[in-house]
Amino acid sequence: MTRFLSVISVGEAKKVIKGISPPPHEEIIPLSKAGRRVLFSDIKSDVEIPGFDRSTVDGYAVFASDTTGASESIPSMLTLSGRIAMGEDRSIDLNRGSCMYIPTGGVLPKGADAVVMIEYCEELGDQILIHRPVAVGENKISKGEDFGSDRPAVKAGTVISSRVLGVLAACGWKDVPVSTRPRIGIISTGNELVPVDKKPTGGEIRDVNTWLCSGFVSEEGCIPVVYGIISDDHNSLNKALDEALTSCDAVLISGGSSKGERDMCAEIIASKGEVLVHGIAISPGKPTIIGTAMGKPIIGLPGHPASAYIILLVLVRELLKGMTGIALSQKCVHVPLMIPIKSVQGREDYIRGIFDGRYILPLLGKSGLTNTLLQSDGVIRIPGPVEGYEAGEIVEVITW
């Protein structure tokens, strides 16, 4: 395999990933099980919400013009013509010069175009003194103002949070169309790897990437399928990849993208499908592999956990977003840099950094430490055309 020498940009790699990302599929599930799932299609309400003009405060329904000029010293005096109870809709007409008491959420009487808060009113028998004027529409919500049956209440691609669950309930969706959760196979390769419950000896290290990838996949709304530690030999990796491709929608292979093992991983992918990318102008993560087999995406990640996580964040997230239909973008902030940083022109660099409240401090020379994933608040992105930044320049930071 020689494509490692044909390094492509991060932007080109993202285009490749977009082109091989399988579209999401729909399933219908009960509202009670829809939390954290992704809406497959737009959701509309079956009724206007609210279904009537309603008050947003406890007070008095009025004609706004009847309160013009009202003040503490010269209040407007209106006749109290009735009281509205919660849930009551008597199709009452309000006459000029009069008002009606109304609770929060109550149905406004016909003609009323505003509500005066009870704090600015004084009741004297059947007379109400208004000490503050209101404008048309003040303290009221019009029929259909919240959600209308002619426009989406929630759009496809939205992750269903507790807030969204409430809206779905208000819109009458007992059963909800969501995207199916893709199954992502996770293969961790390396003769030096041992399970987390074994104490490493000699040149051994614990398997981190299985759990790093599993957690990331779960956070992105997919189902991780773990195939355990696979030794660095052709038959073992070939067998594991066959099994993963049979039962999963995409596969992540970590560790098989450094010299030697990298070539073997690429050869196995090519024997089953096609290697589309073998080398990306990104640091860390240059030897990343992107390929397909059985019509399913395969991404070969770097073996070092910190490097693997950058590829998960920058490229694998693009794949999983496409497969789940999630419409959310990465969380980015733009803040000044505390110290200068250099970069190789033509390569997109991602440097972990710490916020101090105002500036971002790059953790230079610490890329080999896994603990920087916890110590840092995100990564500073240095685009390919840029050779670095001076202290004080505004930089883009992708936050964890």
Domains parsed from the chain with CATH numbers: 3-25+182-324 (3.40.980.10), 26-47+152-179 (3.90.105.10), 54-141 (2.170.190.11), 332-399 (2.40.340.10)
Whether 222 contacts 183, CB under 8 Å = yes
Going by C-alpha positions, the residue among 343, 289, 244 that lies closest to residue 17 is 289
Query: For residue 17, with 0-12 CB atoms within 10 Å meaning exposed, 13-18 middle and 19 or more buried, which class applies?
Result: buried
Q: Report whether pLDDT(99) > 70.
A: yes
* H helix intervals, 189-233: 209-219
Encoded amino acid at 185, one letter: G
Going by C-alpha positions, the residue among 359, 55, 36 that lies closest to residue 179 is 36
Give residue-wise pLDDT tens across range 239-283: 999 999 999 999 999 985 445 566 899 999 999 999 999 999 999
Q: Would you call 94 helix, strand, or coil by DSSP? A: coil
Q: Count other C-beta atoms under 10 Å from residue 348's C-beta.
A: 22
69-73, 110-114, 122-126, 325-329, range with the lowest pLDDT: 325-329
Whether 275 contacts 298, CB under 8 Å = no
User: Mean pLDDT score of the chain, rounded to an integer?
Assistant: 93
The percent of residues above 70 in pLDDT, for the chain, comes to 96
pLDDT at 255: 86
pLDDT band at residue 88 using 50, 70 and 90 as cut-offs: confident
Mean of the pLDDT values across residues 45-55?
94
The secondary structure element, H or E, covering residue 73 is: none
Nearest 5°: phi and psi at 341? -135, 145
From CA 253, how far away is CA 77, in angstroms rounded?
Answer: 77
Is pTM beyond 0.75? Reply is yes
Encoded amino acid at 351, one letter: I
Mean of the pLDDT values across residues 381-389?
95
pLDDT at 90: 67
pLDDT at 183: 98
Mean of the pLDDT values across residues 113-138?
97
pLDDT band at residue 155 using 50, 70 and 90 as cut-offs: very high
Whether 265 contacts 238, CB under 8 Å = no
